[in-house]
Structure 1
Amino acid sequence: MSDKRRGRAGERPVRPPTEPGVALHLALVLLVAASGAVETISFIALKHVFAGVMTSNLALLGMAIGRGQETGVTAAVLALTGFALGAGVTARLTRRSVETGTRWPPPVMFCLAGEAVVLAVGAVTWAALHGTPGQTARDALQFGAAATMGVQSAAMVAAGRAASPTTYLTGTLATFIVRGVGAGRANRWVPAQLGALMVGAGTSMLLLRKAPEWAGVLPVVLVVAAMLTAVAPVIRMRRRSGGS
């Protein structure tokens, strides 16, 4: 057995990492930014409901029912149904994934790739309609946007300790405050995620104002960047193993 595997005499054996590395944290930040961009398009340019925040959509549904507003009911139901479908399909595809705590399992990556494809189809449709879709197109795009956020949410759940919520950060913020203020164990990546949410939303809003036909491209770029960032350490490790 080589010294690389057993370690040199007198040295402690090198243990494999058990927590997510910097690359995965950066990937999570990018996914949060993508969700902020999708939420902006969903709420501002589509049906005035959220693509990934189902708590708010349930409240909006209740208000729409109370006002007797049919369009509001339809929008909320589309978002809720799309999210549930995306999450359900992802749960099915990732049910046998093995959590490692240090990387996203292949089924999770596969589902994120599917999210990117759906977002890309939406971006092409959005651009073809010059950022001003009609009623039917808005319904379809709303459903698709919610489905992608369902996929992303469920994929991060399936990734376990190697991930964290990326579409709804209220619990993340509360945990950060409790552990940071109450226990002195704050997660330094939480402020980056909160900032990314605002940057993603703000950039998307700017595109909607200045170049609306290109607004749908931003979430696609961010999700693809997150996937590449997450898989980069694995590729480097395999290259090193092949060259040794």
Structure 2
Amino acid sequence: MTRRLDLAMLLVLTFSTGMVDAIGYLGFDKVFTGNMTGNVVILGMGLAGAEDTPVLRPALALVFFMVGAALGGRILGRIGEEWHTRTTTIFAGVAIGCAGLAVYVALMPEPEVGLAGTFFTSVLSALMGAQAAAARRMKIADVTTVVVTSTIVGLASDSRLAGGDSVRWIRRALAVFLILIGAVAGAATLMINQWIGIAVVALAIAVVAVIGHLAARKRALAEAAEASVHA
């Protein structure tokens, strides 16, 4: 049951990644803040001199994502795959950071222009890096929350059409579907106002942090009660 709950929470985070990537790419000069593969490709094209292809923001997004992931790894330390207080700390911090960015975008006259836009994409990338580090530590197969290419490969290569047994096809299909729907939602919020999508992302991550923390606390109390019975 615990692993199913972890899977559900990571799928919610996958949806939020679709949102932030759509917002970054469409609203902030073609920058992916969650999917670093996209940034590496864009950066390569920009360095080759492709017209209207940015270099600075994708490069900074890549650097800050790595910084966020490194910081997340440092906070997590040597904890196992089960939800820990440190996991709550990271997800809560990411949610608060996204909420702060939503306020920043709402108050800034032109948040996508110049230094303001670069600041936004860099900070959001750092937050997504920390989130990805925490999600990776939970070790749910096929759900990394930030990329679905390997998930799609597994979905196709292990399918019955390919002679496989379609193992974990439901979670794989859901991961692909949710990042797609997240991108649709992120693009839709841009038609209203840029801050709305980031606020939705902050809310989604906050919900995951609360649910995960409460579930871990419940599990710890149950284990303590069982231990006292056998003592």
Band of TM-score, shorter chain: 0.7 to 0.9
The aligned residue for residue 127 of structure 1 is 106
- For residue 115 of structure 2, the aligned residue among 125, 132, 136 is 136
Paired position in structure 2 for 1:176: 155
Preserved CA contact (<8 Å) 2:31 2:58: yes
1:190 is aligned, of 165, 172, 193, to 172
Q: Who is 1:30 aligned against? A: 12
Please say if residues 10 and 143 of structure 2, whose CA atoms lie closer than 8 Å, have aligned partners that are also in contact: yes
**C-alpha separation between the residues in 1 aligned to 2:180 and 2:72?**
26
Deviations 1:49-95 (CA, angstroms, capped at 9, x unpaired): 21122222112111111117797111121111111111111111122
Q: Which residue does 1:219 correspond to in 2?
A: 201
**2:132 maps to 1:153:** yes
Which 5+ residue runs of structure 2 have no aligned equivalent?
Answer: 227-231
Query: How far is 1:178 from its partner?
Result: 2.3
Out of 5, 17, 22, which is 1:40 matched to?
Answer: 22
Percent of paired sites with the same residue: 22
TM-score (normalizing by structure 1): 0.81
Query: For 1:1-244, what aligned pairs fall within 5 Å after superposition?
Result: 20-67=2-49, 72-99=54-81, 103-129=82-108, 132-161=111-140, 164-181=143-160, 182-187=163-168, 188-237=170-219
Task: Give, as a single letter, the amino acid of the residue that structure 2 aligns with 1:202.
Answer: V
**Structure 1: distance between partners of 2:147 and 2:164:** 23
1:4-55 Cα distance to aligned partner (Å, 9 max, x none): xxxxxxxxxxxxx7xx532212101110011111111111111312112222
**RMSD over aligned Cα, in angstroms?**
2.6
Contact 1:105-1:159 within 8 A present in 2 as well: no
Q: Answer with 50-59 or 118-127: which moved more.
A: 50-59
> Are the aligned partners of 2:34 and 2:129 in contact in 1 as well (CA < 8 Å)?
yes
How far apart are residue 108 of structure 1 and its match? 2.4
Q: Distance in 1 between matches of 2:110 and 2:202?
A: 16
Q: How far apart in 1 are the matches of 2:117 and 2:184? A: 21
Q: Unpaired segments of 5 or more residues in structure 1?
A: 1-16
When Rg is computed on C-alpha atoms for both structures, the one with the higher figure is: 1
Kept in 2: contact 1:28–1:163 (CA 8 A): no
Query: In structure 1, what is the Cα distance between the partners aligned to 2:143 and 2:212?
Result: 13
Tell me the equivalent position of 1:9: none
The aligned length equals: 223
Deviations 1:111-159 (A, max 9, x none): 1222112211111101112674431110000101111221121112222
Structure 1 residue 237: Cα displacement = 4.0
- CA shift for structure 1 position 235: 4.0
